[in-house]
């Protein structure tokens, strides 16, 4: 069975976690292949999986629960689904153990997870280095140390999950890298205070919780594919934050587009069938960087309040703007989307009209292609098509024909402009608030 990819189509926080959770009801594996704790994927369930049994009718009577995934794949809430942390990730082991504990509590049982030998360790000195360098404030990152951890990987001095299996060499490698950073930042009290033996032993002790789960995940996933198992790949971040294709330097440090599955999980493109782009019905961005359709003023604040647009990881208010089809066309091309999942359509209820950017005006020219160059984007003026809004709330809509006519037209307009089917429309955070088509 070909695998399914779920990828962010804007600047992150599109609702990937929710979509992945839905798809993983039927999946055998859910795989993260990029990023680390910079990701925050919120899943709202109307049931507690471990209590469900086979009495489907009683599910809805259980109270709604939420879980914010950062490292563990969002499908791991389901009993049937094994979570895999791929080699393309940078994993903070302290955060991993915390998340495992929280998830165990919610599920009432241990989630089934595996971690790649090749996943890099994000260690307590990485966020400190990010702060010292000033990149945290210059880019407004999530402050988790993501950039420094990936830089260690590229510089070939990073520590990997497999290193935890060889304690003596692990301690030696850690000592070397800490020595290096103490030399680079002699004035940093925070870095000087790390005692490598102590930190190393603490990490080795901590890793006992998941040591047996550090395996060859490439083999695991290929065996699963050969046995006809269903794998869902869960992208973190999104195309416009991709290290290569995003709005550099206001990007993250990993590959958030389709190619990340090959490099970050070892599964080649011809094993992936459906490629689902997740987009909000409008646009948000957290952190600095160009955002042509950003709304300044009361309407932006209206969307932020209606959509609860505050970061899942950091709580930062998200910048809000209209849907940008120029950007989406670019992202769809990069990823080869076979379909789109459109989330948060409910948030647009009550607007008189809804502007959608179909092109940009740049130095007197009309651009239909997204220029992924900050200097150009800063001077791009969106050209808007103004579509009629609708008054009705959408909660409770269960089929496409339940939607108000203007909302149906909004969906069809996007499909026509992008030449892409929208197969899932989400009208609320809950797992049952969707229209499938
Ligand atoms: P992710 O990083 O792409 O997984 O997205 P986040 O979880 O960071 O942010 C999406 C937020 O929107 C979460 O709080 C979700 O619970 C919520 N959400 C998802 N889909 C919908 C929807 O259709 N309507 C509303 N109102 N909220 C949604
Ligand atoms: P999910 O998976 C939204 C943004 C940060 C910052 C930039 C670089 O939940 O969609 P980093 O800490 O990665 O070096 O920060 O990228 N960013 C995200 N924005 N959603 C995310 O993840 C993000 N992960 C990173 O705000 O602008
Ligand atoms: Mg998020």
Residues 308 and 318: their CA atoms lie apart, in Å, by: 9
Domain count, the chain: 3
Given a contact cutoff of 8 angstroms between Cβ atoms, the answer to whether 403 and 394 are in contact is yes
Given a cut of 50, whether residue 15 has pLDDT beyond it is: yes
Residues 219 and 343 occupy one common structural domain:
no
Residues 357 and 221 occupy one common structural domain:
no
What separation in Å is there between the alpha carbon of 44 and the centre of ligand 3? 13
Q: What's the pLDDT band for 62 if we cut at 50, 70, 90?
A: low
**Domain enclosing residue 410, as ranges:** 279-436
Q: Which protein residue has the closest C-alpha to ligand 2 atom 13?
A: 252
Q: Which residue has the tokens 């992945």?
A: 20
Q: Which protein residue has the closest C-alpha to ligand 1 atom 27?
A: 429
What separation in Å is there between the alpha carbon of 212 and the centre of ligand 2? 30
244 tagged catalytic: no
Q: What is the CATH number of the domain that holds 283?
A: 3.90.170.10
In the chain, the percentage of residues whose pLDDT exceeds 70 is 96
Question: E strands along 152-300, which residues?
Answer: 214-215, 231-234, 272-280, 283-285
Residues 261 and 341 occupy one common structural domain:
no
Q: Is 234 in the pocket of ligand 1 (CB under 6 A)?
A: no
Residues 80 and 147 occupy one common structural domain:
no
Phi, psi dihedral angles at 364 (to 5 degrees): 80, -5
Residues 143 and 197 occupy one common structural domain:
yes
Residues 221 and 351 occupy one common structural domain:
no
State the catalytic residue, choosing from 21, 41, 70, 120. 41
Q: Identify which has the larger pLDDT, 53 or 383.
A: 383
13 tagged catalytic: yes
Q: What is the CATH number of the domain that holds 51?
A: 3.40.440.10
In the chain, the percentage of residues whose pLDDT exceeds 90 is 92
Lookup: tokens for 353: 């009209």
Q: What's the pLDDT band for 63 if we cut at 50, 70, 90?
A: low
Q: So what's the pLDDT on residue 316?
A: 87
Given a cut of 90, whether residue 386 has pLDDT beyond it is: yes
Q: So what's the pLDDT on residue 262?
A: 98
Residues 222 and 201: their CA atoms lie apart, in Å, by: 34
Residues 282 and 296: their CA atoms lie apart, in Å, by: 14
Among 132-136, 221-225, 310-314, the least confident range: 310-314
What separation in Å is there between the alpha carbon of 234 and the centre of ligand 1? 15
For 36-46, the pLDDT digits (tens) are 999 999 999 97
Residues 127 and 183 occupy one common structural domain:
yes
Residues 224 and 364 occupy one common structural domain:
no
Atom of ligand 1 nearest to the CA of 311: 8
Given a cut of 80, whether residue 59 has pLDDT beyond it is: no
Q: So what's the pLDDT on residue 61?
A: 45
Residues 380 and 367: their CA atoms lie apart, in Å, by: 9
Atom of ligand 1 nearest to the CA of 278: 3
Residues 251 and 374: their CA atoms lie apart, in Å, by: 11
State the catalytic residue, choosing from 13, 163, 242, 346. 13
Residues 333 and 157: their CA atoms lie apart, in Å, by: 35
For 159-170, the pLDDT digits (tens) are 999 999 999 999
Q: So what's the pLDDT on residue 86?
A: 98
């Amino acid at each position: 069975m070909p695998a399914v990819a779920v990828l962010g189509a804007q600047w992150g926080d599109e609702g990937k976690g929710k979509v992945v959770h839905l798809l993983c009801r039927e999946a055998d594996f859910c795989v993260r292949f990029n990023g680390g704790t910079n990701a925050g994927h919120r899943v709202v369930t109307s049931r507690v999986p471990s209590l469900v049994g086979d009495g489907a009718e009683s599910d809805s009577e259980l109270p709604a629960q939420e879980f914010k995934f950062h490292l563990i794949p969002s499908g791991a809430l389901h009993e049937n689904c094994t979570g895999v942390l791929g080699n393309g990730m940078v994993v903070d082991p302290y955060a991993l153990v915390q998340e495992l504990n929280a998830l165990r509590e919610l599920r009432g049982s241990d989630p089934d997870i595996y971690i790649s030998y090749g996943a890099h360790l994000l260690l307590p000195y990485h966020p400190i280095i990010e702060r010292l360098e000033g990149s945290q404030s210059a880019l407004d990152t999530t402050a988790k140390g993501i950039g420094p951890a990936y830089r260690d990987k590229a510089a070939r001095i990073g520590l990997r999950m497999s290193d935890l299996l060889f304690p003596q060499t692990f301690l030696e490698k850690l000592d070397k890298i800490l020595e290096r950073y103490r030399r680079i930042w002699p004035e940093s009290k925070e870095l000087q205070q790390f005692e490598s033996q102590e930190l190393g032993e603490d990490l080795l002790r901590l890793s006992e919780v998941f040591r047996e789960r550090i395996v060859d995940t490439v083999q695991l996933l290929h065996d699963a594919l050969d046995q006809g198992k269903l794998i869902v790949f869960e992208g973190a971040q999104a195309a416009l934050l991709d290290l290569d294709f995003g709005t550099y330097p206001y990007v993250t440090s990993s590959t958030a587009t389709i190619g990340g599955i090959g490099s970050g999980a070892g599964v080649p493109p011809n094993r992936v069938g459906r490629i689902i782009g997740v987009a909000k019905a409008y646009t948000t961005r957290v952190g600095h960087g160009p955002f042509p359709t950003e709304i300044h003023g009361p309407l932006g604040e209206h969307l932020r309040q209606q959509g609860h647009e505050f970061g899942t990881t950091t709580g930062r208010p998200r910048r809000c703007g209209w849907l940008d089809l120029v950007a989406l066309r670019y992202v769809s091309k990069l990823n080869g989307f076979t379909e789109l999942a459109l989330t948060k359509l409910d948030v647009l209820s009550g607007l008189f009209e809804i502007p959608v950017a179909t092109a940009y005006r740049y130095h007197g020219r009309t651009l239909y292609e997204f220029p992924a160059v900050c200097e150009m984007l800063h001077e791009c003026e969106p050209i808007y098509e103004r579509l009629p809004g609708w008054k009705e709330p959408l909660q409770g809509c269960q089929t496409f024909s339940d939607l108000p006519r203007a909302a149906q037209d909004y969906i069809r307009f996007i499909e026509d402009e992008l030449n892409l089917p929208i197969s899932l429309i989400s009208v609320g955070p809950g797992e049952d608030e969707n229209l499938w088509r």
